Chain A
Amino acid sequence: MILNAIAAFLHLTIRGALFLAIAVFGGLGTAWALIHSGSRLTTVTSGPWMSWTAAGRMDADPYTRANTVRTARLPINPSLALTWRAENDSDGARIHSSCAYSIDMSLLDAAWWSLAVYDDRGALISNPANRHGFNAATLVRNADGTATIVLARDARPGNWLPTTGAGKVTLLLDIVDPVWVATATSDPPKLKPLPAISRIACR
């Protein structure tokens, strides 16, 4: 009799746990995933770069608006500017301060852009060089017009962007050029090439 009661209790407990797992964790988990990472319906990707296509628009979808609120952003209307975000390199591996990366800026032809590096929470990384990003005016190009930014924790010649010991880092590329943006968001989209992020070496 006691065993039957225990069996019934366990039966009820397992069913309740299963229901909670599906309902609560499934509902919250899928919402978090779509709000944080987006989907094909709400974002556009180009290599390692991702952008929310409707960020800042008055008719944005609920997931984009939730992402804007959650990340405390003030996005400019996507008809004038686009913000691209990269958390992985071109091979899909997470960008980490223990590794050095090469960012090829040669093919980026927007009139104005700025590239900055942040830690996982969106904070600028403290470093002795007091350098946190490059823009269209401060990037040093080679004689042949090519340009490369090196992302590393130790000093490098040329366009060096320090990551110090921040751990997982995120790159943000702001492009404020209506002509460039109009081409990228045309129908069909003619995405212009964005900088490739190649891993050089890791410690």
Chain B
Amino acid sequence: MTIAPENQPSPQTTPELPATIRERLKAQTTATASTGQPVRSEAATAPANSRFQEFRARVRRAGATLVPMAGQMARRLRLRPQVRPTDAVSPDQSPQRVTPAKNHVAGRALAAARATSVRIGSTLDAIVTRMPSNRTAPRTRNTVQTFDATPPDLKEARPSLFAAGMLLTAVVTAGLIHLGTTFAIPLLGAGSAYATLKPALPANRMVAFPVQAPGRQILPFASPDTLYAICRFDIAASPVVVRALLPGIGWSLTLYTPAGDNFYAMPGTVNGPTDVAFMVVPPTDRMLNMMPGARREEMKLNQVVAPTREGLAVVRAPIKSAAMLDETRRELSASSCKTSELAAPVR
């Protein structure tokens, strides 16, 4: 492969090609010399592999000519000294020199152009090297068998659509997405029962809801045979006392965290009414009953340690018949949820 004289890079601006490109050029030159066969121009070879090589050669030439072009442009912009390498410089003829400041700028510009052209050339070379070659193209007669200078290991490693490494990476990524999604849903809590009910529930007050009917449901899949009384407790400032009467089977009093974990449950029994009363306390206030000073009634209550500062207390009342609806409402109204009197100042 020869380079036309007008495109020959000047000694001052010869780009430093990457080692891989130099080796391939050397190997190709050696191969053509060893065959002893006249080498036709690359344009004359018909098979697809030779067209491939011709394209690569054109890419290299394009990269090699970028720097002289940048140099010419720099001269036109008067960013470099007005001295050409071919000009004879006599001792009594000092070339026009630019100022040191401009020389520094010109040098940096030329160095940047040189580096850029080398990068472009090597990148294009790497791309075309990795293109799937047309191995099934028929060879025509009277042509020189072109030597493919691509290293054997690179030829073997040309990636296919279903590379094992890519599939493995995709599977691992899918697993990470799977785990992230599963753990993120409870943490974010968007759309949970607590998030849905919170706007309608004041803090530390029991709210009784009407019978569930189409268009008047508090939550999806809420039972139409159940009356609900719900308290959104907030024990950040003080404990909360919860009281409820559970007349029989089907009744229940349950406490939930915002994520829907049921950390306390008391069911009604067939044996008769159950009067439930306890104080919901945060984990750090477990020793309230050991406090000195005036003992109040609430200190005798059982304490239920809540894992979170906020949550829901739900009383469920079964509607056994339409005729018993009013009585069920009265019994449900006995449920209460309020801030502990312990929060009031001692007088």
Contact of A73 among B55, B132, B260, B319 (CB under 8 A): B260
Cross-chain contact B170 with A123 (CB below 8 angstroms) = no
Chain B residue contacts of A66, Cβ below 8 A: 182, 185-186
Q: Answer whether A58 and B263 are a contact pair too, CB < 8 Å, given A22-B171, A69-B192, A126-B214.
A: yes
> Does A35 reach chain B (CB closer than 8 Å)?
yes
Q: Given known contacts A23-B177, A62-B182, A172-B223, is B267 in contact with A178 (CB within 8 Å)? A: yes
Please tell me if the beta carbons of A24 and B177 are within 8 angstroms of each other in the complex: yes
**Interface mask (B188-205 → A, CB under 8 Å = 1, otherwise 0):** 010111001000000000
By the criterion CB–CB under 8 Å, are A176 and B250 in contact?
Answer: yes
B196 touches A72 (CB 8 A): yes
- A139 CB to closest chain B CB (Å) equals 11
If A74-B260, A80-B252 touch, whether A15 touches B166 (CB-CB below 8 Å) is yes
Does the CB pair B174–A114 fall under 8 Å? no
Binary A-proximity of B119-162 (CB < 8 A = 1, otherwise 0) = 00000000110111000000000000000000000000001011
Q: Is B176 an interface residue (CB 8 A)?
A: yes
The CB with the most chain A CB atoms within 10 A, among B189, B259, B307, B321, is that of: B259
The answer to whether the Cβ of B280 comes within 8 Å of any Cβ in the partner chain is no
Contact, CB under 8 Å: A123 / B262: no
Query: B127: which A residues are within 8 A, CB to CB?
Result: 8
| Residue in contact with B320 in the complex, picked from A72, A130, A137, CB distance below 8 Å | A137
- A27 B261 Cβ-Cβ under 8 A: no
Contact between chains at B262 and A133 (CB < 8 Å): no
A76 in the interface (beta carbon within 8 A): yes
Residues of B within 8 A of A176 (CB): 249-250, 252, 267, 316, 318
Complex interface residues of chain A between 146 and 180 (CB less than 8 A to chain B): 170, 172, 174, 176-178
- B-contact 0/1 string along A1-34, CB 8 Å cutoff: 1001001100100110011001110111011101
Distance between A141 CB and nearest chain B CB, rounded to angstroms: 15
Which residues of chain A (64-108) have a CB below 8 Å from chain B? 65-66, 68-77, 79-81
Total B residues in contact with A, Cβ cutoff 8 Å: 64
Residues of A with C-beta under 8 A to B128 = 4
Query: What is the chain B residue whose CB lies nearest that of A126?
Result: B214
Contacts of A178 in B (CB 8 A): 267
A177 to B249, CA, bound (A): 8
Q: Is the CB of A62 within 8 A of B252?
A: no
Contact A73 B177 (CB under 8 A): no
Helix, strand, loop or mixed for chain B's interface?
mixed
Which residue of A is nearest B59, CB measured? A1
Q: Are A72 and B185 in contact (CB under 8 A)?
A: no
Q: Is the CB of A18 within 8 A of B226?
A: no
Cβ-neighbour of A80 out of B174, B196, B265 (below 8 A): B265
A27 touches B214 (CB 8 A): no
Complex contacts, B238 vs chain A, CB 8 Å: none
Partner of B132, one of A7, A69, A136: A7
Interface membership of B14, Cβ < 8 A: no
- Name A31's contact: one of B182, B224, B262 (CB within 8 Å): B182
Chain A residues lying within 8 Å of B262, measured Cβ to Cβ, are 56-58, 74-77
In the bound complex, residues from chain A placing their C-beta under 8 Å from that of B312 are 74
Interface check B213, CB cutoff 8 A: yes
B105 CB to nearest chain A CB (Å): 37
Q: Give Cα distance in the complex from A42 to B252, angstroms.
A: 25
B217 lies within 8 A of chain A by Cβ: yes
Is B254 interfacial (CB 8 A cutoff)? yes
Cα(A170)–Cα(B220), bound, Å: 12
Residues of B within 8 A of A60 (CB): 261
Interchain CB contact under 8 A, A133 and B193: no
Q: In the complex, which of the residues A1, A70, A138 contacts B185, with contact meaning CB atoms closer than 8 Å?
A: A70
18 pairs from A and B in contact (CB 8 Å cutoff): A1-B55, A4-B55, A11-B132, A15-B159, A15-B161, A24-B174, A27-B175, A58-B263, A69-B185, A69-B189, A72-B192, A72-B196, A73-B193, A74-B262, A77-B265, A81-B252, A114-B223, A176-B316
Shortest beta-carbon contacts, A-B, top 8: A122-B220, A27-B177, A22-B170, A56-B262, A27-B174, A23-B173, A137-B320, A132-B224
**Chain B residues engaging chain A, CB cutoff 8 angstroms:** 52, 55, 127-128, 130-132, 159, 161-162, 166-167, 169-171, 173-178, 181-183, 185-186, 189, 191-193, 196, 212-215, 217, 219-221, 223-226, 249-250, 252, 254, 256, 259-263, 265, 267, 270, 307, 312, 314, 316, 318-321
